[in-house]
Structure 1
Amino acid sequence: MGARRLAAATVVALPFLLGAASGSPDVPADPVFRFGDPDVVESSGLVVVDGLVVTVNDSGDSGRVFVVDPTSGETVGVTSWSPDPVDVEALAPAGAGHVWVADTGDNRRVRDSVSVLRVPVGRGDRTVDPEAYELVYPDGARDAEALVRHPLTGRLFVITKGVFAGSVYAAPPRLRADRPNPLVEVGQAPGIVTDATFLPGGGGVVMRTYSSAHLAAHPSWEQVASWTLPRQDQGEGIALAGSGLLLSTEGARSEVLRVPLPPEARTTDLGSPAWTALRWLALARGLPLSVG
């Protein structure tokens, strides 16, 4: 193998080598459920929708997402579509009963564009024909495993997976299906980000790697805090669930864990427009405002 090919292979393999022995066994975590569906073998994205957990397999699967009841771990619905995606890597909330599916994986950085699809989810199986929205980077192909949606504006952000650092790209405020949608770089991210989620008020974003979590303020994308995550074989999913986070990992019958948010997360989100509005409303009406 030549030096150039060896270097390219190392870049592709390094994230997986880093994930093989990641996390800390000392971090407290509560097991929530274990995926019971034998078809869920590479949980690579995680979203909570209407009390149900939605996940998607990593690259190589057909076009489908799984809806799981967290009380049992059993799949209660599958949404399928065609044609098959290239490399699905993440999910993001998309309003009531829907998720955004991120077909954004590109380990070898050869794709001219990537895409996102908005698909319905819920109990029961369904086959759909979702609209695909093409996204184009301003500076060449990138590999990305994280997609987030701002809870107030609905704007999508793609977070790339660089070895030492990544970038955050904003999609247009309104996506067009009839033409490519240009992405704009708006911030920096840690290296090896495998998934992310906004805090409920939109004032902060939690990005996970195989072994750690990083809280960034929005819209500055400046880092506020970081902490070690529990050990997982190859952790690639994170979702907001109440006052905590759900974490998933690749592997058959893998376990989903729940960890608390750090105090900095609450402080960061209290500076968001949503919480600012709530505080003024509470003051105007003489009501107490607490954050759980």
Structure 2
Amino acid sequence: MIAGSVAALALAGLAASTSSEPPAAQRVSTIRDDRIGEQSDLVASPTHRDLLWLTNDSGDSARVFGVSPRTGRTRAVLTLRTDARDVESLAGGTTSDGRSVLWVGDTGDNSAVRESVVLRLVDEPGSVRSQSTDVVSLRVRYPGGPADVEAMVWTTDHRLLLITKELLGGRVLEVPSSAVDRALAGRSVTRPALAKQVARVSQSFVTDASALPDGRVLVRDYVGVVAYDPPAKGRMRSLASVDLPEQQQGESIAATLDGRYAYAGSEGQVQPLWRVRLPRLPAPERSETPATTRVGQAQRVVRDAVRERPLDWSVVGAVTLLGTVLIAVVAGARRRGRRRR
């Protein structure tokens, strides 16, 4: 009887140990580069396998490290041909024309004294090797004045978002698309572009964020990460949360390209890199039809065009004509929808 019980327990333990369900969090490597002691962010390379980009925060020069999540070793260092004050945020991904880019955010401001901050745009190199690279600068200011920002996201629909680090939740700010487009065209924006608040998150002390491939956004604080729907109509719907492993000063998060996992890192020398399984998220809300989505995109194009040039009758005429077309498109879509029902 005892032998049978022991055998049953052994089989149960074996079944548990061979379960196909991966652990919620797994330590995958350790970052041992003694030049990396103030890790503040992480971005999964959109181009190169086995590569994460990261930066140190205040006190370091303008450089970006490429490390292997599998081994923790540094594979490349990008030296930016510019200066740096307090790099605290990093974002990356592809553009509408297929370029792979990194946005390096010199956005740190613990004392909230900087009237404007600067984002550096870098084309991700085609080869993984240490090199110097030119940058395009985009200067930004915030509504309501200076704020500390440690999280930046380049969304899958090519919006550049910044999230403030505050005690009672963070403000989600969007950099004007006209300024982003100018930077992507290779022209620096030296006159500060005014970011617009588009949502809030409830987390205290947001330290990093990352875009998921389906358009959702991961936002982390010192102890956990929350998945949100993208900003829409002034809000971001929270979908799920995950506790992160205990870390010395956890500040970084990067979603994998398939959206199944996220890498989490910490400040400090010789720090572990964790891979965290993300929960399955509910289906996206379908609040807009394709026709109204196209209308919104066209309206943003017109809005930005009007902002960038003095108002004249040719612009007024173009706006009026486009408005007429948009109304016809929406009316037609609604009529088709009624016929289907």
**TM-score range with shorter-chain normalisation?**
0.7 to 0.9
Q: CA deviation at 1:212?
A: 1.3
Alpha-carbon distance in structure 2 between the residues aligned to 1:268 and 1:84: 43
Pairwise CA distance, 1:93: 0.8
Tell me which of 170, 175, 178 is aligned to 2:174. 170
Structure 1 residues 272 and 83 mapped into 2: Cα distance closer, same or farther (>3 Å)? Answer: farther
Alignment of 1:105-184 (within 5 A): 105-122=108-125, 123-152=128-157, 154-175=158-179, 176=182, 177-178=188-189, 179-184=191-196
- Structure with the higher helix share, 1 or 2: 2
Q: 2:266 aligned with 1:253, yes or no?
A: no
Distance 1:65 1:140, change over 3 A: same
Task: Note the C-alpha offset of 1:226.
Answer: 2.3
Question: What residue ranges of structure 1 are gaps of 5+ in the alignment?
Answer: 1-26, 274-292
Change (3 A) 1:227 1:60: same
CA distance in 2: counterparts of 1:268 and 1:140, whole angstroms? 37
8 A contact 2:82–2:135 mirrored in 1: no
Q: Say if 2:62 and 2:79, in contact at 8 Å, map to a contact too.
A: yes
| Cα distance in structure 1, aligned partners of 2:196 and 2:116 | 14
Which residue of 230, 252, 275 corresponds with 1:218? 230
Q: Distance in 2 between matches of 1:254 and 1:198?
A: 24
Matches within 5 A, 1:8-47: 28-47=24-43
Three-state SS of the structure 2 residue aligned to 1:174 is helix
Superposed, 1:46-125 pairs within 5 Å as 46-49=42-45, 50-51=48-49, 52-95=51-94, 96-122=99-125, 123-125=128-130
Task: Say which is worse superposed, 123-132 or 103-112, in terms of deviation.
Answer: 123-132
Q: Aligned partners of 1:217 and 1:205: how far apart in 2?
A: 6
Aligned residue among 191, 199, 210 for 1:197: 210
SS of match in other structure, 2:54: strand
Tell me the equivalent position of 1:207: 219
Aligned length: 243
User: Structure 1 residue 268: deviation in Å?
Assistant: 4.6
CA root-mean-square deviation: 1.9
Q: Which residue of 1 aligns with 2:280?
A: 263
TM-score by length of 1: 0.78
Residue pair 2:170, 2:205 contacting (<8 A) in 1 also: yes
Structure with greater strand share of residues: 1
TM-score w.r.t. the length of structure 2 is: 0.67
Contact persistence 1:42–1:251 (CA under 8 A): yes
Tell me which amino acid in the other structure corresponds to 1:135. V
1:271/1:39 Cα in 2 relative to 1: closer, same or farther (>3 Å)? farther
Taking the aligned partners of 2:261 and 2:70, their CA distance within structure 1 comes to: 17
Q: Hey, what's the Cα distance between the residues in 2 that align with 1:56 and 1:249?
A: 12
Runs of 5+ consecutive residues of structure 2 not aligned to the other structure: 1-22, 183-187, 289-341
- Superposed CA offset, 1:58-108 (max 9, x none): 111100000112232211111112432111111111425431111111000
By relative contact order (CA 8 Å, sep 6+), the higher-ranking structure is: 1
Q: Which moved more, 1:137-146 or 1:172-181?
A: 172-181
Aligned CA distance change for structure 1 residues 268 and 250 (closer, same or farther; 3 Å): farther
Contact 1:33 1:73 in 2 (8 A): yes
Alpha-carbon distance between aligned partners in 2 of 1:272 and 1:235, rounded to the nearest angstrom: 35
